[in-house]
């Protein structure tokens, strides 16, 4: 089909650049604060093994499905799905995958930019020497005071979103690719620096043990579902981000090798992040708390107790910021590419308009932490929690499920085989089973269970 042609938005300069771009999307806040914690809590090495199984059986097939839909369509997810539906004479309802994805990306970015803004703020703050030698109470107070001040949150949200818009406005090659070429190698470098620091912190063995030593007793059905959800979220699946990026993949790149490399890089970064964070936490006799508390109270406090803590604290938050921005730019691409195609619009104008809307919506998240902390959208959820729940627990899994079913049952089998470059052999026989059965069942189980749990 169209895979020999080019996308109107530009093309990645090489297969390797696509790998870096997709890894940039995948490696984000989820790797740095979520993976280490849930792995530690759910049986360490046992969880890591189960998680790897989920990545291999559910994550990689759906990732391959998204990329091949994008590359065969050579357009934004909405228009790529339109082409596929026409070619396969499928129901136009499948195009909802594209719409839901574009909307989900926009919704996720609205809060992602606020949280990433906190990392920027902490980078600057620690650079000024704040929290050096401070008590844990002061570290706590610093975070609470920050959250209580909407103007501060808006300032940093604006800086992060402004940077994101500036990059995406410049286009796929000059914007996205340039950012990826700089930020991804720097991200790996900073991670190695932090690992070396953690290795010498005195808590390395305790941290490594918490993260990696297998404890099968702590691994439960719950842990399996958490592993599946994490495998899905961390690979940026279910909203067309990988489909949009897939549209810019050169025709000669191997999708199979590419997606396996992306999944490996993403996992390596997640484990390395854990090996960098926990030793520092344990070296200071702290408990690894969860979520915002770990990233914005425990870690800044721990750095404040350590030699050269201010310097390495800055390194840590710069790392988080790089990870967040290479994810943020992929969140905008499905909606952005669609609007450019549909209205033949100027990319930078669309980028700025999307940015402004996203900024306005993000105010809901900002105010959730202060002046609207008592406002609940539904079921006691604040605006932030509602958007987070809706996207992560509903829109992304449903999107991923539909993508797997579409590729498995509606898209012509020959087209998928061509895109994947498989013609017989073990992979060709396994592929229909993975994309048509294992992956959709896996996602469906997690989806139903999560909804059931929150009723």
Where does this chain touch ligand TRP (CB under 6 A) — which range of 60-68, 296-304, 326-334, 339-347?
Answer: 326-334
Indicate whether 100 belongs to the interface with ligand TRP (CB under 6 A): no
Indicate whether 398 belongs to the interface with ligand TRP (CB under 6 A): no
Q: Among residue numbers 140 through 179, which ones bind ligand TRP (CB under 6 A)? A: none
Instruction: Determine the angle formed by the axes of helices 96-127 and 309-343, rounding to 10 degrees.
Output: 150
Question: For residues 6 and 173, what is the distance between their CA atoms, to the nearest angstrom?
Answer: 13
Shortest Å distance, C-beta 432 to ligand TRP: 26
Nearer to ligand TRP, 253 or 388 (CB): 388
Indicate whether 262 belongs to the interface with ligand TRP (CB under 6 A): no
Nearer to ligand TRP, 30 or 77 (CB): 30
Indicate whether 336 belongs to the interface with ligand TRP (CB under 6 A): no
Indicate whether 298 belongs to the interface with ligand TRP (CB under 6 A): no
Q: Among residue numbers 28 through 57, which ones bind ligand TRP (CB under 6 A)? A: 28-31
Which residue in this structure is represented by tokens 């959800």? Answer: 229
3 state SS for the chain: CHHHCCCCCCCCCCHHHHHHHHHHHHCCHHHHHHHHHHHHHCCCHHHHHHHHHHHHHHHHHHHHHHHHHHHHHCCCHHHHHHHHHHHCCCCHHHHHHHHHHHHHHHHHHHHHHHHHHHHHHHHHHHHCCCCCCCCHHHHHHHHHHHHHCHHHHHHHHHHHHHHHHHHHHCCHHHHHHHHHHHHHHHHHHHHHHHHHHHHCCCCHHHHHHHHHCCCHHHCCHHHHHHHHHHHHHHCCCCCCHHHHHHCCCCCCCCHHHHHHHHHHHHHHHHHHHHHHHHHHHHHCCCCCCCHHHHHHHHHHHHHHCCCCHHHHHHHHHHHHHHHHHHHHHHHHHHHHHHHHHHHCCCHHHHHHHHHHHHHHHHHHHHHHCCCCCCCCCCCCCCHHHHHHHHHHHHHHHHHHHHHHHHHHHHCCHHHHHHHHCCCCHHHHHHHHHHHHHHHHHHHHHHHHHHHHHCC
Indicate whether 354 belongs to the interface with ligand TRP (CB under 6 A): no
Nearer to ligand TRP, 79 or 236 (CB): 236
Nearer to ligand TRP, 208 or 243 (CB): 243
Indicate whether 76 belongs to the interface with ligand TRP (CB under 6 A): no
Q: Which two structure tokens, joined as six digits, stand for 316?
A: 């840590």
Binding test (CB under 6 A) with ligand TRP, winner from 79, 267, 284, 330: 330
Closest residue to ligand TRP: CB criterion:
28
Nearer to ligand TRP, 68 or 286 (CB): 68
Binding test (CB under 6 A) with ligand TRP, winner from 261, 327, 365, 419: 327
Nearer to ligand TRP, 70 or 309 (CB): 70
Where does this chain touch ligand TRP (CB under 6 A) — which range of 23-31, 84-92, 245-253, 298-306?
Answer: 23-31
Binding test (CB under 6 A) with ligand TRP, winner from 7, 20, 25, 175: 25
Number of residues that bind ligand TRP (CB under 6 A): 14
What character string, x for contact with ligand TRP (CB under 6 A) and - otherwise, covers 213-252? --------------------xx-x--x-x-----------
Binding test (CB under 6 A) with ligand TRP, winner from 69, 167, 211, 331: 331
Where does this chain touch ligand TRP (CB under 6 A) — which range of 27-35, 42-50, 54-62, 428-436?
Answer: 27-35
Nearer to ligand TRP, 28 or 203 (CB): 28
Tell me which residues touch ligand TRP (CB under 6 A).
25-26, 28-31, 233-234, 236, 239, 241, 327, 330-331
């Amino acid at each position: 089909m169209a895979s020999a042609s080019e996308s109107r938005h530009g093309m990645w300069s090489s297969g390797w650049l696509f790998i870096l771009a997709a890894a940039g999307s995948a490696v984000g806040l989820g790797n740095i604060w979520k993976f280490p914690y849930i792995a530690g809590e759910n049986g360490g090495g046992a969880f890591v093994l189960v998680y790897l199984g989920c990545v291999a059986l559910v994550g990689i097939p759906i990732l391959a499905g998204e990329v091949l839909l994008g590359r065969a369509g050579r357009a934004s997810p909405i228009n790529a799905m339109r082409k596929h539906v026409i070619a396969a004479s499928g129901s136009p309802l499948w195009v909802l995958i594209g719409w839901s994805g574009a909307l989900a990306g926009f919704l996720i970015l609205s809060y992602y930019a606020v949280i990433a803004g906190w990392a920027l703020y902490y980078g600057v703050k620690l650079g000024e020497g704040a929290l050096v030698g401070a008590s844990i109470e002061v570290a706590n107070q610093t975070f609470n005071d920050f959250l209580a001040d909407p103007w501060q949150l808006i300032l940093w949200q604006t800086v992060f979103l402004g940077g994101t818009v500036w990059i995406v406005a410049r286009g796929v090659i000059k914007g996205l690719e340039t950012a990826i070429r700089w930020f991804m190698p720097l991200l790996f470098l900073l991670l190695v620096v932090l690992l070396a620091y953690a290795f010498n912190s005195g808590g390395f063995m305790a941290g490594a043990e918490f993260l990696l030593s297998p404890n099968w007793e702590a691994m439960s059905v719950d842990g399996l579902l958490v592993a599946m959800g994490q495998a899905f979220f961390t690979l940026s699946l279910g909203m067309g981000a990988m489909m949009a990026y897939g549209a810019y993949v050169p025709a000669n790149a191997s999708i199979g090798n590419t997606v396996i490399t992306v999944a490996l890089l993403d996992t390596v970064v997640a484990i390395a992040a854990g090996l960098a964070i926990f030793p520092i936490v344990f070296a200071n006799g702290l408990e690894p708390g969860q979520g915002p508390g770990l990233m914005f109270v425990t870690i800044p406090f721990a750095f404040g107790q350590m030699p050269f803590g201010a310097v390495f604290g800055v390194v840590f938050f710069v790392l988080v910021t790089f990870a967040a921005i290479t994810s943020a730019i992929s969140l905008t691409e499905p909606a952005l590419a669609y609007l450019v195609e549909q209205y033949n619009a100027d990319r930078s104008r669309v980028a700025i308009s999307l940015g402004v809307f996203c900024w306005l919506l993000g105010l809901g998240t900002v105010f959730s932490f202060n002046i609207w902390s008592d406002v609940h959208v539904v079921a006691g959820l604040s605006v932030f929690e509602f958007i987070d729940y809706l996207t992560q627990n509903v829109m992304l899994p449903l999107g991923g499920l539909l993508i797997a079913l579409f590729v498995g049952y509606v898209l012509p089998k020959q087209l998928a085989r061509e895109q994947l470059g498989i013609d017989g052999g073990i992979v060709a026989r396994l592929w229909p089973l993975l994309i048509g059965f294992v992956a959709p069942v896996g996602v469906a189980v997690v989806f139903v269970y999560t909804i059931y749990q929150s009723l």
